[in-house]
């Protein structure tokens, strides 16, 4: 039930992805990296330094006018933006994106839920704990982030108490999407201790074949093709 059943050969991608523009610390980028790794795809990896403002360079804005990573470039020059959109493009036709109408709607539901309640909340607190000078925050901001974040974790816990994964018993793109920031929520100051089903789910995701950690990047992704994982 845990194995991604199709590999690159089965993807029948008419156009191959060639290059990922990303910031290694980003959970949004990590969603794409995990998907590439699970599907056995390899791309060139280019770090866009968000801290030095590289995402606002004319060169990068030509790739994404909103100045956000990740961006995935395809061999024909097509540019894909928005992590959840890239996730859909990559997983279409694989077991990570079932054909069933309701299952697909549930995946969209979780990615929307993630965008507002996880990325902008758990992801933000983690970023600001690591880079506190990035923007001015107030204690009211933090109170609201923790309130929303714990409410979101409660919703996940309730779902995962009933099912192995977010859309039922099948590992899907929804799990990859939510894992991106939930697995490192502690770095943003969230205590995950009481979320036992979420903890069990995290372990299940980590057991996926070809799973990598968030900081395992190189000049290609996955890194160190001939020697396994990065040091």
Closest distance to a second copy from the beta carbon of 109 (Å): 4
The smaller minimum CB distance to a second copy, of residues 105 and 225, is found at 105
Give how far the C-alpha of residue 179 lies from the chain's centroid of Cα atoms, to the nearest Å: 7
| Strand, helix or coil for residue 220 | strand
The smaller minimum CB distance to a second copy, of residues 104 and 126, is found at 104
Closest distance to a second copy from the beta carbon of 206 (Å): 26
| Strand, helix or coil for residue 35 | helix
Closest distance to a second copy from the beta carbon of 70 (Å): 12
The smaller minimum CB distance to a second copy, of residues 34 and 90, is found at 90
The smaller minimum CB distance to a second copy, of residues 137 and 191, is found at 137
Tokens for 11, please give them: 């993807």
Q: How many CA atoms lie within 13 A of 178 on its CB side?
A: 30
Closest distance to a second copy from the beta carbon of 67 (Å): 9
The smaller minimum CB distance to a second copy, of residues 106 and 202, is found at 106
Between CA 88 and CA 114 the distance in angstroms is 14
Tokens for 116, please give them: 């507002």
Closest distance to a second copy from the beta carbon of 227 (Å): 33
Kind and range of the H or E run holding 149: helix 139-162
Q: In the complex, which residues of this chain contact a second copy (CB under 8 A)?
A: 65-66, 78, 80-86, 88-89, 92-93, 101-102, 104-106, 108-109, 111-113, 115-117, 120, 151-152, 154-155, 158
Q: How many CA atoms lie within 13 A of 227 on its CB side?
A: 4
Neighbouring C-beta atoms of residue 148, cutoff 10 Å: 16
Task: Give the N- to C-terminal CA distance of the chain in Å, as an integer.
Answer: 30
The smaller minimum CB distance to a second copy, of residues 37 and 80, is found at 80
List all residues 6 or more positions away from 37 whose beta carbon is below 8 Å from its beta carbon. 210, 211, 212, 221, 222
Closest distance to a second copy from the beta carbon of 115 (Å): 5
What's the DSSP call for residue 56? G
């Amino acid at each position: 039930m845990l194995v991604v059943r199709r590999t690159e050969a089965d993807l029948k991608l008419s156009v191959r992805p060639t290059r990922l523009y990303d910031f290694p610390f980003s959970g949004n980028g990590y969603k794409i990296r995990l998907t590439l790794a699970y599907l056995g795809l390899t791309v060139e990896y280019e770090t866009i330094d968000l801290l030095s403002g590289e995402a606002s360079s004319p060169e990068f804005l030509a790739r994404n006018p909103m100045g956000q990573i990740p961006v995935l470039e395809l061999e024909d020059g097509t540019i894909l933006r928005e992590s959840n959109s890239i996730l859909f493009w990559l997983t279409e036709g694989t077991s990570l994106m079932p054909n069933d109408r309701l299952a697909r709607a549930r995946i969209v539901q979780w990615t929307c839920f993630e965008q507002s309640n996880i990325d902008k909340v758990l992801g933000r607190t983690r970023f600001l704990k690591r880079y506190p000078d990035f923007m001015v925050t107030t204690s009211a901001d933090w109170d609201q982030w923790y309130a929303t974040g714990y409410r979101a974790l409660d919703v996940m816990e309730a779902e995962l108490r009933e099912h192995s994964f977010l859309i039922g018993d099948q590992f899907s793109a929804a799990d990859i999407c939510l894992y991106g920031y939930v697995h490192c929520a502690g770095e943003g100051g969230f205590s995950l201790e009481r979320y036992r089903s979420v903890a069990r789910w995290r372990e299940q995701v980590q057991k996926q074949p070809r799973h990598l950690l968030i900081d395992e990047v190189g000049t290609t992704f996955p890194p160190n093709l001939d020697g396994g994982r990065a040091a």
